[in-house]
Structure 1
């Protein structure tokens, strides 16, 4: 008898962090339309919560962060279902939601991140990974190209390294993923949550306004020419210094006390 397949995303507030856990361990946390929609809804809920400062995305269990598209699903809602009445594929819509999100999104890579799961990882802002996790784009082995996730991957990996992964379909280990800048930290599995907590503590204590403006600027500038980015930065300075958080941060520095973010 097949193992039960609870489908969906578990949403849980843990302190100032909103945890979104893909809860499909029996399917290696594979993506389908419902899962992707729930991830987007979770991100929207986190942004609407004034006490939330960071989002964590992970997978259930310890084998897979996300193994990509659910290839066992057929018909409407499958990753390869083309509905020309909709202006945007649901996975593209999720990646755009993640980019526009004003909160930092951290991937807790508890297991393999493959295909669409690798794209999901690349769409996050930071990542902490277990040292036995594998990463890759195996689509070429089944006659496909990682088309939907390519834009997210191109913003993280160097071109030649990414090209090799897409052509060969061979996975890389966590150490190599760290070398390529895919993840921020690689730790033994037993230390994964401790390292994640360490990173979250250094994130939630920072100015929410500064993080939102900073993420917005980061994403905007990387698609600009150097001259455009310089002009954009110059124009954003008055906005940045006019926030309550900026005034509070400068006052706290001068008064030698901890800031109280508004």
Structure 2
């Protein structure tokens, strides 16, 4: 097998861990290790990174929906793979580096990412939910950061978790390892909405469609600005967002949107 054939075979094997289907400006990504409850093996993380990197430069995609095949959204890292690797520092460094880069890729992705959550989302699976911009869960979903129960504290999931929920709620999850239901996850602020499982697809489609109907250019500006200003002191945040709004006002879509509002007509976006 020549090098190009080897690369093609590796890419085919890699992307099989993630399914992608695009429709009406929405990229639907689904974790595809149902037999392992979509545990984040190194190959799964790599496959997700490939898909998100491709989506980042895909102008046809306005929104991403991330879901899981089978009975669960994601059960966290693949503990069987960890044991098989011998828990070596080299393996662990590579795994957690790749996972951290994946979570940051979701945040830095130009398009908003909606987590469609069902079954369980535990450890790095809860980290995935927290890293997504929005999340809708079936009302029978359960969440946890249970690393403390097996002697491996959920330190990297803690980063995303503590940026989504209050410190006391984050510490409750991290220190007890207890499962919480979707109603509690909603109260904690980990998800946006909890709906009956039969209504999950419709609820996600409605939210994704609503965002996809907006100016892609404007949404991209807004997502980037949201995360950048959140890391700044108050005065610097206002100074930065002032600059964002000044630049945004020069965009054709901003001027079209204002005109459409004044003229009482639907806007026609050009995504510029």
TM-score normalised according to structure 1 size: 0.91
Helix, strand or coil for the counterpart of 2:183?
Answer: helix
Q: CA deviation at 1:167?
A: 0.6
Structure 2: stretches of 5+ with no match in the other structure: 1-14
The ranges of structure 1 where at least 4 consecutive aligned residues each deviate by more than 4 angstroms after the TM superposition are 75-81, 83-88
Q: Structure 1 or 2: larger helix share? A: 2
Aligned mates of 1:130, 1:65 — CA distance in 2 = 11
Instruction: Please provide the CA RMSD for this pair.
Output: 2.2
Asked whether the equivalents of residues 85 and 91 of structure 2 are also in contact (C-alpha less than 8 Å), the reply is: no
- Encode CA deviations 1:43-100: one digit per residue, 9 max, x unaligned: 2222222221100111002x21000001111479899753599798000111111111
The residue number in structure 1 matching 2:3 is none
- Encode CA deviations 1:190-212: one digit per residue, 9 max, x unaligned: 11011111111211111111111
- Encode CA deviations 1:98-150: one digit per residue, 9 max, x unaligned: 11111010000022000000000000000110011000101000001111222
The residue number in structure 2 matching 1:36 is 45
The match for 1:256 among 226, 245, 264 is 264
The match for 2:55 among 41, 46, 67 is 46
- Equivalent residue runs for 1:199-238 within 5 Å: 199-238=207-246
- Label 1:125 to 1:168 Cα distance change in 2 as closer, same or farther (>3 A): same
Helix, strand or coil for the counterpart of 1:19?
Answer: strand
Structure 1: stretches of 5+ with no match in the other structure: 1-5
Aligned mates of 1:86, 1:115 — CA distance in 2 = 18
Asked whether the equivalents of residues 33 and 78 of structure 1 are also in contact (C-alpha less than 8 Å), the reply is: no
- Label 1:202 to 1:123 Cα distance change in 2 as closer, same or farther (>3 A): same
The residue number in structure 2 matching 1:24 is 33
The match for 2:254 among 221, 239, 246 is 246
- Label 1:141 to 1:49 Cα distance change in 2 as closer, same or farther (>3 A): same
The residue number in structure 1 matching 2:20 is 11
- Encode CA deviations 1:204-257: one digit per residue, 9 max, x unaligned: 111111111111111011111111111111221211111121122122223322
TM-score normalised according to structure 2 size: 0.88
- Equivalent residue runs for 1:1-262 within 5 Å: 8-61=17-70, 63-74=71-82, 82=90, 89-262=97-270
